[in-house]
Homo-oligomer: A and B are copies of this chain.
């Protein structure tokens, strides 16, 4: 706690942060613990917390408190005031009833989506999604002022970012990704995945071990199974989930490493800034940089395979060659599912979603036409026809949970991850750490440069400070070309 931050404003923001944690817990519980008949009540609970939060964020006393606190505030206190003012301004623009309706619709939407996805039935889901889109358009209109509605939603996940900037990154990235994909498609070398069966309990035990190696503190978290891996919580209580496919252990292991990347960030925030606006994670893009750095740059690296091959041999009773393992976890193959995509295809999946959700929010696309638009675009970008809604427009939970503007943070995160990886390797012996399964020096670097600063720097400035210049997409393309060029001999 800095000396400048205290009093009624600090106490008020503390309550807001605490209720945000409650929101996350309600979500985690719904995904991992809640019995099926609890869904309707849960929607009411989430709406009630959202209304309470909205009440706090729009409290008319905030304007006075902020004016007083802003006077002469410096450093962290100034960030606290600015961030509190941002939260207050956003909330004040959205009517309480709309905020609560969105919260309730998001919970109901996720339940409806899970059923629709299981049945691969977009038509039945469309009316519910259309309601969510209508609510989000209304929210975006409230928030946007003179700006673009989509930018107002994006700002919630990536403060300060705009669709135009994101689109520019995508445009520069796309030719490089498509070129690499085409070279790989024509390559003579064809690395193969692992075959066989990997028992659930052995996967979970290894996932727990790997989580520890990557710096996850189990006394401040827990590992559970869920349909979709995610990380939830902050500070002393950061929970992660994974999933099991006995035919493919990397569904579990890479999901675990990915979520540990998120979790180590939240566990590594400055505890002295807990419950302060400046103490939160910088943005979803920075968050995703940590998970992608862990999953791809570390988890799918040749060096980590030196550690992983004997660990898998011990866990599954099966000898593995580290070099072959490295090939097996880096197979490039066009598929329908974003979360299963390789590093070369991943950002192409994101671009598709970014364009479609922008069109939905801007009103250039309506929900009844969404499935056709998805399938047409997918065919154009990936060269194959989507076989069913489950493998297409229904694969992701985001839109059903009212998260529009979230997808582009995945690509920003991928870009930041590549920049951080390159910078880290200039200062820390990353490969030696990965081979030995001793990541403490790597985590320490990230703690110092990325985690502990929290929101004291805006996302781009934080990354720029860590790498020593403005970040862009060139490090990502260099990394992909070098890695997959070597693996595929192209």
Question: Which residues of A does B touch, CB under 8 Å?
Answer: 14-15, 18-19, 21-22, 25-26, 29, 33-42, 44-45, 47-49, 51-52, 55-56, 217-222, 233-237, 239, 274-275
Contacts and interface: CB of A to CB of B under 8 A. Distances in A.
A232 B237 CA distance: 22
A48 to B, nearest CB: 4
A89 to B, nearest CB: 22
Contacts of A233: 38
B18 A236 contact: no
A49 B35 contact: no
B33 A45 contact: no
B222 A41 contact: no
How many copies make up the complex? 2
B18 A26 contact: no
Please report whether the interface of chain A is mostly helix, strand, loop or mixed according to DSSP.
Answer: helix
A270 B452 CA distance: 50
A220 B35 contact: yes
A120 to B, nearest CB: 24
Contacts of A22: 22, 26, 45, 48-49
A267 to B, nearest CB: 9
B39 A275 contact: no
Contacts of A34: 237
A237 B18 CA distance: 24
10 contacts: A18-B44, A19-B45, A19-B49, A21-B41, A21-B45, A22-B48, A22-B49, A25-B25, A29-B29, A35-B218
B36 A219 contact: yes
A33 B33 CA distance: 10
Contacts of A38: 220, 233, 236-237
Nearest to A218: B35
A235 B19 contact: no
A279 to B, nearest CB: 12
B275 A35 contact: no
A40 B234 CA distance: 12
Contacts of A275: 44
Contact of A35 (B15, B222, B274): B222
Contacts of A41: 18, 21, 234-237, 274
A219 B275 CA distance: 36
